[in-house]
């Protein structure tokens, strides 16, 4: 598709949104694609509201052997149909949890500063499943402040790498540095021994070296409640300290 046609499409897409700077930003991204070298990474502009690709970069053919125009025409459902069947449920669970986390824990003002990463296996044009690491940054939101237009980068890795399905969310902080505010490994077993969902949340933030005060703020509970959760977790897992707990989780990642 010619550049002029693409720009016309975007004028129509954003006609109901008074964000000319965003439209210009996207136009520049598309124009840049012509000059980008071939690599193991391609990008798409996604529309999760309509389950369509508004743009697919030329590198998709070099990475997966797929025709970019065909992928764009058939949309996200076609792309997802090529996903490894063993990864599909875990991937859907990961996306659902990321959305819940964003809507429950991230303020409306901060959602434009978020970026999300997850992975899965996808069948290339030769019938081989390769690893995909996808990083998506929201560009536009609907009336309910859910992200609908995103810039997604896909890095393709060889199938010989055994990758578990993980998802993370990062927030661009006041120092213009991304900090991880959410991480979960969906291929690993959840903690047993009667650990509640809230206690799992606390453990995951402890592994990220978050203090009780920081955890309380992120989970919208009091620091005293966090400390109570920490004591209960130590008792249930029969460990003597938070440091021992974090070390155990990092050494035995199948626990979460």
pTM of this prediction? 0.67
Mean pLDDT of 94-110: 90
Q: What was the pLDDT predicted at 88? A: 87
Query: What are the CB-based long-range contacts (under 8 Å, 24+) for 122-130?
Result: 122/64, 122/79, 122/82, 122/83, 122/84, 123/82, 123/83, 123/84, 124/63, 124/64, 124/65, 124/66, 125/64, 125/65, 125/66, 126/65, 128/159, 129/84, 129/159, 130/64, 130/156, 130/157, 130/158, 130/159
* 226, pLDDT greater than 80: yes
Contact status, residue 56 vs residue 72, Cβ threshold 8 Å: yes
* 147, pLDDT greater than 70: yes
Domain 188-256: CATH architecture, name and number where available: Orthogonal Bundle (1.10)
Q: What was the pLDDT predicted at 22? A: 67
Q: What was the pLDDT predicted at 34? A: 85
Contact status, residue 168 vs residue 181, Cβ threshold 8 Å: no
Q: How far apart, in whole angstroms, are the C-alpha atoms of residue 32 and residue 53?
A: 17
Mean pLDDT of 184-199: 70
Contact status, residue 42 vs residue 154, Cβ threshold 8 Å: yes
Report whether CATH 3.30.1360.10 matches the domain 3-184. Answer: no
Residue predicted with more confidence, 254 or 113 = 113
Q: What was the pLDDT predicted at 13? A: 43
pLDDT in tens, 10-53: 455 444 444 546 677 788 888 888 888 888 899 999 998 889 99
Contact status, residue 234 vs residue 245, Cβ threshold 8 Å: yes
* 140, pLDDT greater than 50: yes
Phi, psi (5° rounding) for residue 158? -65, 150
Q: What was the pLDDT predicted at 190? A: 45
Helices within 164-241 (DSSP H only): 197-207, 212-219, 223-237
Q: Between helices 20-33 and 3-13, what is the axis angle to 10°?
A: 150
Residue predicted with more confidence, 203 or 21 = 203
Mean pLDDT of 209-237: 90
Q: How far apart, in whole angstroms, are the C-alpha atoms of residue 216 and residue 206?
A: 11
Measuring CA to CA, how many Å separate 216 from each of 5, 36, 202, 206? Answer: 50, 44, 9, 11
Categorize the per-residue pLDDT at 158 as very low, low, confident or very high, splitting at 50, 70 and 90. Answer: very high
Q: What was the pLDDT predicted at 24? A: 78
Q: How far apart, in whole angstroms, are the C-alpha atoms of residue 60 and residue 66?
A: 6
Domain boundaries, the chain: 3-184, 188-256
User: From the centroid of its chain, how far is CA 33?
Assistant: 23
Contact status, residue 168 vs residue 204, Cβ threshold 8 Å: no
Length of the chain: 256
């Amino acid at each position: 598709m010619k550049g002029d046609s693409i720009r016309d499409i975007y004028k129509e897409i954003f006609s109901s949104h008074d964000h000319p700077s965003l439209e210009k930003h996207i136009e520049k991204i598309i124009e840049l694609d012509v000059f980008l070298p071939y690599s193991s990474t391609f990008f798409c502009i996604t529309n999760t509201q309509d389950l369509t690709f508004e743009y697919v970069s030329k590198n998709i053919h070099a990475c997966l052997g797929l025709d970019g125009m065909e992928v764009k025409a058939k949309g996200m459902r076609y792309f997802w149909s090529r996903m490894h069947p063993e990864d599909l449920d875990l991937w859907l669970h990961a996306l659902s949890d990321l959305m819940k986390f964003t809507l429950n824990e991230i303020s409306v003002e901060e959602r434009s500063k978020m970026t999300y990463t997850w992975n899965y296996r996808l069948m290339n044009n030769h019938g081989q499943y390769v690893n995909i690491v996808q990083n998506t940054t929201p560009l536009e939101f609907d009336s309910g402040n859910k992200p609908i237009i995103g810039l997604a980068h896909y890095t393709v890795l060889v199938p010989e790498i055994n990758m578990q399905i993980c998802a993370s969310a990062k927030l661009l902080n006041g120092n213009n540095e991304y900090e991880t505010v959410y991480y979960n490994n969906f291929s690993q077993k959840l903690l047993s021994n009667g650990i509640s969902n809230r206690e799992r949340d606390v453990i995951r933030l402890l592994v990220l070296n978050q203090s009780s005060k920081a955890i309380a703020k992120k989970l919208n509970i009091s620091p005293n409640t966090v400390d109570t959760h920490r004591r209960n977790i130590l008792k249930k897992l029969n460990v003597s300290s938070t440091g021992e707990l974090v070390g155990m989780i990092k050494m035995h990642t199948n626990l979460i």
